A and B are shown apart, each in its own frame.
Chain A
Amino acid sequence: MTGIFDDVYGEMATDISEIILSQEAIQERVAELGKAISKDYARSNPLLVGVLKGVVFFMADLLRSITIPVEVDFIAISSYSPETRGQGFVRLVKDLEIPIQGRHILFIEDVIDTGLTLNYILNNLRARQPASLEVCVLFDKAERRLIDIPIKYKGFDLPDRFVVGYGLDHREKYRNLPFVGLLKPEVFQSGNKG
């Protein structure tokens, strides 16, 4: 279904029913975001913060499109899962290495859907008293939003469908596809953990 990608990405591509954002469209939009960020944050030495793991693809491309000096750091948080259900709360599993008090922070996210995760992270960062804290997201699934999150930079609106690629995964798979595609229902409905 994905044409020439079938030969390159094999079984991953065959699980995709349709490409909804091409590699070229993503790269073009990321370059536009980088240009806007370079203009808005000139002379403010911003710190770009991302949450592992899905953001690494977007972060790497975005950083290379930004033309001003920036720093980068990552955090990681525990995810809700069958193993953690009913047992405590979300927690940081990797903290920032760079202090952010008084810094201009641009939080970089690959996708926002309900906003539950991002709400937790922003509250955590806000408590550290940065000079400013803004959000840049590549993919926005606004239909699924439960917590309202102000977004300063946005790449694309995505439909409320099960999409993978360019950092978006299903059970840790498909992140490395260079495009965003719809996952075939039989893949995510099978309960296959492979």
Chain B
Amino acid sequence: MSLPSNKKKLEFAHPSEEAFALILDYYGIEWQYEPRTFPLEWDENKQVLVAFAPDFYLPQQDLYIELTTLRPQLSSHKNRKIRRLKELYPEVNIKLFKRREMHTMMVKYGLDSEAERIRGSEAQEKNG
């Protein structure tokens, strides 16, 4: 598995993100990895307390994508952040690509090890 040379220095937080990026590359979809961080909560001094950086941005579609391989019962924290992002930034288009959707995509493309990794994954949520 390898990314184009101009993106090889990227460090993905999860192997599924790299697998997803390779699929986008194959189909000629332009993407950026975590290009923007959205502040979600501030303290009284206007210091950012909570922020959220969606995993991918597709410029041609003007769409942010957040991937999750978490089981639904473990992804409520991420869901809350996305709901809050939509409230604060209604002009932003964001899609949560859920665990089952990720698993189905990996099965569809015959990526058995990635599919198995997603199926076996538990709470590997990263900060952000």
A interface with B by C-beta (< 8 Å):
79-82, 84-86, 88-90, 113-114, 116-117, 119-120, 123, 143-144, 146-148, 160, 162, 170-171, 188-189, 191
Main secondary structure of the interface of A (DSSP, over half): loop
Known interface pairs A86-B1, A89-B25, A120-B27; A143-B101 also in contact (CB < 8 Å): yes
Question: Does B13 touch A at the CB level, under 8 Å?
Answer: no
Contact of B22 among A85, A120, A188 (CB under 8 A): A85
Question: Does B116 touch A at the CB level, under 8 Å?
Answer: yes
**Closest Cβ neighbor of A145 among chain B residues:** B95
Chain A residue contacts of B90, Cβ below 8 A: none
A-B CB contact pairs (8 Å), 22 listed: A79-B109, A80-B26, A80-B27, A81-B109, A82-B110, A82-B112, A85-B1, A85-B111, A86-B2, A89-B26, A90-B27, A90-B28, A116-B23, A116-B24, A119-B27, A120-B28, A144-B101, A146-B29, A146-B95, A160-B100, A162-B104, A191-B112
Contact A146 B112 (CB under 8 A): no
**Closest Cβ neighbor of B19 among chain A residues:** A85
Question: Does B6 touch A at the CB level, under 8 Å?
Answer: no
Contact of A160 among B22, B95, B104 (CB under 8 A): B104
Compute how far the CA of A147 lies from the CA of B62 in the bound complex, rounded to whole angstroms.
10
Known interface pairs A82-B111, A146-B63, A146-B65; A160-B26 also in contact (CB < 8 Å): no
Contact A117 B22 (CB under 8 A): no
Compute how far the CA of A79 lies from the CA of B108 in the bound complex, rounded to whole angstroms.
10
Chain B residue contacts of A119, Cβ below 8 A: 27, 29
Contact B105 A114 (CB under 8 A): yes
Compute how far the CA of A189 lies from the CA of B120 in the bound complex, rounded to whole angstroms.
11
Contact A84 B26 (CB under 8 A): yes
- Which of the four size classes fits the interface of chain B? 20 to 34
Contact of A147 among B3, B22, B29, B111 (CB under 8 A): B29
Contact B26 A85 (CB under 8 A): yes
Contact B110 A86 (CB under 8 A): no
Question: Does B58 touch A at the CB level, under 8 Å?
Answer: yes
Question: Does B107 touch A at the CB level, under 8 Å?
Answer: yes
Query: Quick one: which of A81, A89, A114, A188 has the most chain B CB within 10 A?
Result: A114
Contact B101 A160 (CB under 8 A): yes
**Closest Cβ neighbor of B119 among chain A residues:** A189
Distance to closest chain B CB from A188 (angstroms): 5
Query: Quick one: which of B2, B28, B115 has the most chain A CB within 10 A?
Result: B28
Chain B residue contacts of A89, Cβ below 8 A: 25-28
Question: Does B61 touch A at the CB level, under 8 Å?
Answer: yes
Contact A162 B107 (CB under 8 A): yes
Compute how far the CA of A79 lies from the CA of B112 in the bound complex, rounded to whole angstroms.
15
**Closest Cβ neighbor of A170 among chain B residues:** B107
